Amino acid sequence: MIDLLHNTSLNRDLVKEGFCQFKNDSFLNDSFYSDLESLVSDIKIIEDQLQPVGYYLSIMHGDPSLRNKINQLVLKYIDPMVDSMFTEASVLTSSIIIKPAHTGRFTTHMNWSCTERLDHSAFTLWIPLNDTTSANGTLKIFPRTHTFFNAPVPVNVHNQYFAEFTDYINTHDQYKPIDVKKGEVLCFDERIVHGSDINNTATPRVVLQVVVTHKPKETCFFFTKENSIESYEINREYFINHGVLDALMGFKNTRCISENELPIMSITKEEFIHKLSLAHQQ
């Protein structure tokens, strides 16, 4: 088993299930939450920023000044936490997600690939400012799906590989919401199938999302171009100063995967069910 986390029990969950929860570790103190709340209070959401998705994401909507402030918060509190959690990892990017009242469904998806080698893992640390439950649209995760796809997830691909049977996934009894309390940290593999429902409360749901890479080397974004996939190098500073699609404008093109070399970029419902069966035999 790969040693990703120092905690052997949580490491087993992360490797096997694709996610784990840090529940009783006092990584984060009151000062962190106070500073995070102060940052959130300064965010003025423009209605247009919520369309068509229904939520605010600072990595997409925030200006460089705000993203730099978020990065400074992460440097102060989260980087030391990452060193305590992981055997070897570093922060790549961070973002504040605000799901306003009565809106904000995240469609079922996998996160964009951000490592040149697909066998180098990347993970999200999901840190809520307030308790998250089904009522306010907490994260939903489909356990053990993080090993199902052997292809990169490009930034400019909107229909994910399971798009033809999303309804099957959305109604599957294993695709369940994960309650996360303030003070806890949910860690999940970027490749796992996940999403969330609408916030049905009158209070915004606020989360700090931090992406870390294990054995961080050659971080990149993938983009589809005609009959190929191209990768462009990215780094932590990139996410402060640039929008997501800016990788196509001046950043180094590190590799082009031709049509003949393309990995499998689709999966049938039957293949998904078969992979799920195999995953539960392990």
Question: Model pTM greater than 0.85?
Answer: yes
CB 18 within 8 A of CB 141: yes
8-279 has which CATH code? 2.60.120.620
Report whether pLDDT(127) > 60.
yes
The rounded distance, in Å, linking the Cα atoms of 141 and 17 is: 10
End-to-end CA distance of the chain: 12
- Residue 37 phi/psi, 5-degree rounding, is -65, -35
Assign 128 a pLDDT band (cuts: 50, 70, 90).
very high
pLDDT mean across residues, the chain = 87
The pLDDT value recorded for residue 246 is: 66
The pLDDT value recorded for residue 122 is: 92
Report whether pLDDT(52) > 70.
no
| Higher pLDDT among residues 266 and 158, named by residue | 266
Report whether pLDDT(259) > 90.
no
Report whether pLDDT(258) > 80.
no
Q: 3-state class of 199 per DSSP?
A: coil
Report whether pLDDT(250) > 60.
no
Q: Which token pair is 222? A: 């993938």
CB 184 within 8 A of CB 22: yes
Assign 248 a pLDDT band (cuts: 50, 70, 90).
low
The percent of residues above 90 in pLDDT, for the chain, comes to: 56
DSSP code at position 78? I
pLDDT tens-digit readout, 134-162: 999 999 999 999 988 877 888 877 667 88
pLDDT tens-digit readout, 82-120: 999 999 999 999 999 999 999 888 899 999 888 877 667
